[in-house]
Amino acid sequence: MVIDINLSTLQRLKRPEAPSIPQPSLARLPQYHHYLVDLADKGISRISCSVIGAYLGLIPVQVRKDLQYTGIIGKPKTGYSVAELIQAIETFLGWNNINEAFLVGVGNLGTALLGHERFSKFGLRIVAAFDTDSTKIGQWIHEKAVLPLEQLADLAQRMSIHLGIITCPAEAAQAVADEMVKGGIQAIWNFAPVKLRVPDHIIVHNEDLYSTLASLSWKLARRFRVPVQEKEAV
Amino acid sequence: MVIDINLSTLQRLKRPEAPSIPQPSLARLPQYHHYLVDLADKGISRISCSVIGAYLGLIPVQVRKDLQYTGIIGKPKTGYSVAELIQAIETFLGWNNINEAFLVGVGNLGTALLGHERFSKFGLRIVAAFDTDSTKIGQWIHEKAVLPLEQLADLAQRMSIHLGIITCPAEAAQAVADEMVKGGIQAIWNFAPVKLRVPDHIIVHNEDLYSTLASLSWKLARRFRVPVQEKEAV
DNA sequence: GTAGACTCGGTATATGGTTATCGATATAAA
DNA sequence: TTTATATCGATAACCATATACCGAGTCTAC
Ligand SMILES: NC(=O)c1ccc[n+]([C@@H]2O[C@H](COP(=O)([O-])OP(=O)(O)OC[C@H]3O[C@@H](n4cnc5c(N)ncnc54)[C@H](O)[C@@H]3O)[C@@H](O)[C@H]2O)c1
Ligand SMILES: NC(=O)c1ccc[n+]([C@@H]2O[C@H](COP(=O)([O-])OP(=O)(O)OC[C@H]3O[C@@H](n4cnc5c(N)ncnc54)[C@H](O)[C@@H]3O)[C@@H](O)[C@H]2O)c1
């Protein structure tokens, strides 16, 4: 077997499109955005990296570097214009253009996402939901129609949907992803705890709540049960 | 103002307790765990890093290094015992001991989490929910009582609850966190998009769905709108 | 009008995590 | 029994990100 060689090669080849922004910086931008919107609501019009950093627990240099990726220009002594900064982040993230999405699996989590109107402020509009449960099909949940899964690929194609959200049981997730790919969907937001196998050009983001849980669990366990020495003695 | 100096100093001082495992490795452990449980269900008893890596899209060395943190010992040529490995991960993450938790904010998301029974397999048991909405208080949702927020601190103390989950609106999150701290809660799983201000010894994990959304949105925008050149010209 | 203080932007260094390399060991086949 | 091969564990090189530093610009206060 040469699995490992293939893999590492593959991973390297996957990287030709330079990220142009580090993933951690990308993840911090929405946090700046939340804070800036708060400031704007309070009528504050200018802000410095130091203050943003103080609020979010980051050092000013890091904030400055992150913001630079959006193309914003600040002025010495006064900092940045709050309005410009919000605009710069939204434009950079593509939040000004709406992404229409399909959601599959109208259970506990799917219903919660369907009902979250705030997503629309961040460029996400879930336009329809899909399920295989005949008792759910035909219902309207949070003003969205629940359709049979079989229609997904066809509708996605005809409506030019680019984003799919998976909130079905883990066992079904791969099959659903396959349908999405068939329908021309480009990006998948996956809440099921499985690794999806999709073509290279498909963007997949896993929202792995169990990873978070693992971190919390480990830290709590460590605090309460292990005073020192975590690994086996040397 | 000397905000920045204070901050960087503070950040450095926050790091005295060495993590002893990199955060990314910690986040990958649950993924190995999911896969290993699948293998065990299929009756497979031994597994190598190469195969795990091939499944999850990781190179074998990285898998091996991650697993080493759990203290597992493998054998050359044959790899690891699946059963031992599952046990090692669960013990390491503290999933064998149940963490009891309180959840605050029985809305869309809170209800979804309350109904997710699978969490109990990973050491998490939500024992009660809290809200300020008088129409929700007194109800039982997914077999959990919804209690008034005022009782949280007292109950947390008496029941020795160590984990709090925040799924209330962002505006209320800080106040809720304060209550949790007052009740002796040690760790907070925060789904509201705000930076919580809590004492240093409190563990906080933010589940920031908007960060994920930002990544997806940016990548989609990039694919469809920007053929090349992201930042302003040099 | 000038001195001083604050903040931005660019470059350099440090840190932490990932990836590569190598020797040792266990299994299986000859 | 011996040889070939796959895998583990440890060490070392490498890379991305985070942090530090420094010069330049602009506003405030005297
Ligand atoms: N609810 C949570 O808090 C939570 C937390 C973490 C992860 N998750 C994950 O999210 C996913 C959904 O969780 P949930 O609690 O909402 O589950 P759920 O059982 O409440 O809902 C699952 C939904 O998917 C539908 N479904 C089943 N098979 C399907 C298929 N083949 N195609 C389309 N739809 C199908 C079901 O009819 C149901 O409506 C799971 O993978 C779960 O592991 C949920
Ligand atoms: N629903 C989602 O898909 C989603 C996605 C991302 C983030 N979030 C975040 O999760 C949080 C909850 O979202 P949601 O959609 O469930 O909102 P929701 O409005 O459906 O529910 C909020 C709940 O909190 C309760 N509440 C209000 N004020 C409270 C207070 N002071 N103390 C305790 N409880 C209080 C309300 O009564 C309600 O039951 C929000 O911060 C939201 O930004 C939700």
Please give the mean pLDDT across all residues of chain A: 89
Alpha-carbon gap, residue B113 to B166, rounded angstroms: 11
B145 close to A (CB below 8 A): no
CB-contacted nucleotides of strand D (7 Å): 5-10, 16-21, 24-27
Q: State the distance from the centre of ligand 2 to the C-alpha of B134, rounded, in angstroms.
A: 15
Task: Give residue B10's pLDDT band: very low, low, confident or very high (50, 70, 90).
Answer: very low
SS3 B61: helix
A31 close to B (CB below 8 A): yes
CB-contacted nucleotides of strand C (7 Å): 5-11, 16-21, 24-27
- pLDDT value at residue B16: 44
Decide if A167 contacts A110 (C-beta within 8 A): yes
Structure tokens at B216: 């997806």
Pick the more confident residue, B122 or B14: B122
pLDDT surpassing 90 at residue B131: yes
Phi, psi for residue B138 in degrees, rounded to 5? 100, -20
Alpha-carbon gap, residue B167 to B149, rounded angstroms: 13
Question: A 150-209 residues with CB below 8 A of B?
Answer: 162-163, 170, 186-187, 189, 193-195, 203, 205, 207-209
- pLDDT value at residue B7: 35
Tens of pLDDT, residue by residue over A50-97, are 999 999 999 999 999 999 999 999 999 999 999 999 999 999 999 999
Pick the more confident residue, B231 or B109: B109
Quick check: CB of A179 below 6 Å from ligand 1? no
Tens of pLDDT, residue by residue over B39-74, are 999 999 999 999 999 999 999 999 999 999 999 999
For the purposes of burial, counting CB atoms within 10 Å of the CB of B192, is it exposed (0-12), middle (13-18) or buried (19 or more)?
A: buried
- pLDDT value at residue A19: 64
A23 close to B (CB below 8 A): yes
Decide if B47 contacts B68 (C-beta within 8 A): no
Q: Which domains does chain B have, with CATH numbers?
A: 20-93 (1.10.10.10), 99-212 (3.40.50.720)
Option in A7, A111, A212 nearest B54 (CB):
A7
